[in-house]
Structure 1
């Protein structure tokens, strides 16, 4: 899960029924507003296997990563393409040391 500019971005992976159940739970939780699916695609295998949940907040140190795939000067996943979002999460997986 990533957070920047008041926006949470989360990648859900796994069995379709499980992912749907989790997403509907998020939607029905009053703490979450404006939950939107920005990409929905089938995958051969999970990107974040053996990993439950991590949380990454945009900071001065990682701001470049948050903006690398953004279309504006602020991180806004609503404006990012599905391809850019996949590349963003892949870069997190490959380069953020606490995921390893």
Structure 2
């Protein structure tokens, strides 16, 4: 009886975790961060995900005059590793 309760609890936990897992997987496979360059400013909005660090590097490569990042509506990060990678890359540039 205890084993059955453990199995039921485990399956129930997976049922409630599935939407969150799907959300994380899906939003880590599309571009969710938006960028706009205006003079020397990079305006950034959207959710940070696995693509964000590479996007940052590309934009800074195309616009070396950027010296300021302006954060707009940023609901958070779907990929904390990418968030830290992007932040460390900007910090290493002296930003």
Q: TM-score range by the shorter chain?
A: under 0.3
1 or 2, which has the higher strand percentage?
Answer: 2
1 or 2, which has the higher helix percentage?
Answer: 2
TM-score by length of 2: 0.23
